[in-house]
Amino acid sequence: MTERVFLDQPTLANTSATVVASGDQGIVLDRTVFYARGGGQPGDSGVLRWAGSDTPITEAVKGEGETILHLATAGAALPPVGSVVEAAIDWQRRLAHMRMHTSMHLLCSLIKGAAVTGGAVGADKSRLDFDLPNPPPKEAIEAALNALIEADHPVRSEWVDEAVLDSDPGLVRTLSVQPPRGTGRLRLVRIGDAATPVDLQPCGGTHVSRTAAIGPIRVVKIENKGKQNRRIIIAPAG
């Protein structure tokens, strides 16, 4: 398996690693800071540096089992199996995804009682789809979202027994994607204090450590995507 360093150290931009497999289908490392595409968040891009050479990585994706594939640019030199590389992500792109992903958690907390039917994280704009009969007021949602951001709530991840989903199934807000089960443990992302969190739900993505790091957000538009589906698109205000 590939050790997912980004889960507990989301601000780590590079790490040393050993090449386990290397080929046209992707490069597998024993550990990585590259987030693999999933849960609506794009995979990280960046570079692998080794023995005076480098391999540009266009995206990281999930491979077989618990491996992560680092997809190299077409025609790039590939590091040999057993070599030690420095794996470095495009930090500014990752940071943009962290800010937007965290803001989507805050947005989810504002649309109470509605399941999430889909979503996509982007550096420039992101979206969440909700199972709602009527669209929420755009200006009010934007004001409430920015108030939560400015309150500078802490953002923390914690590992718990996956049985918590049996005792509290309401933790899962998404209809389209369910948390993976079978490992015995579950990663929860908590925004706010332990007693009365702003948001608490399973998530394997990357996030900023405090909401103020997101910066101002604007609600671009709210669209009707079906009789019972409302899409809210957000973007950085700056």
Same domain, 65 and 104: no
Same domain, 100 and 33: no
Same domain, 125 and 208: yes
What number of residues does the chain have?
Answer: 238
Task: Name the pLDDT band for 14 (thresholds 50, 70, 90).
Answer: very high
Same domain, 138 and 37: no
Cα distance between residue 13 and residue 132, in whole Å = 38
Task: Name the pLDDT band for 63 (thresholds 50, 70, 90).
Answer: very high
Burial label for 151, CB within 10 Å (0-12, 13-18, 19+), is: middle
Q: pTM for this structure?
A: 0.92
**CATH for 53:** 2.40.30.130
* pLDDT tens readout for residues 73-113: 999 999 999 999 999 999 999 999 999 999 999 999 999 98
The mean per-residue pLDDT over the stretch 44-57 comes to: 96
Same domain, 30 and 135: no
Same domain, 60 and 168: no
Same domain, 30 and 119: no
Q: What is the pLDDT of residue 163?
A: 79
Tell me how far apart the 2 most distant CA atoms of the chain are, in Å: 58
Q: Which of 89, 115, 150 is the last residue of a domain?
A: 89
| Domain range enclosing 46 | 3-89
Contacts of 54 (CB under 8 A, 6+ apart): 47, 48
* Token pair belonging to 233: 């698109």
* pLDDT tens readout for residues 173-216: 676 566 665 577 888 999 999 889 999 999 999 999 999 999 99
Same domain, 71 and 131: no
* pLDDT tens readout for residues 126-158: 999 999 999 999 999 999 999 999 999 999 999
Q: How many domains does the chain have?
A: 2
* Token pair belonging to 7: 């889960």
Between 58 and 238, the higher pLDDT residue: 58
Same domain, 60 and 167: no
Task: Name the pLDDT band for 160 (thresholds 50, 70, 90).
Answer: confident
Same domain, 17 and 49: yes
Q: How many CB atoms lie within 10 A of CB 215?
A: 15
**CATH for 115:** 3.30.980.10
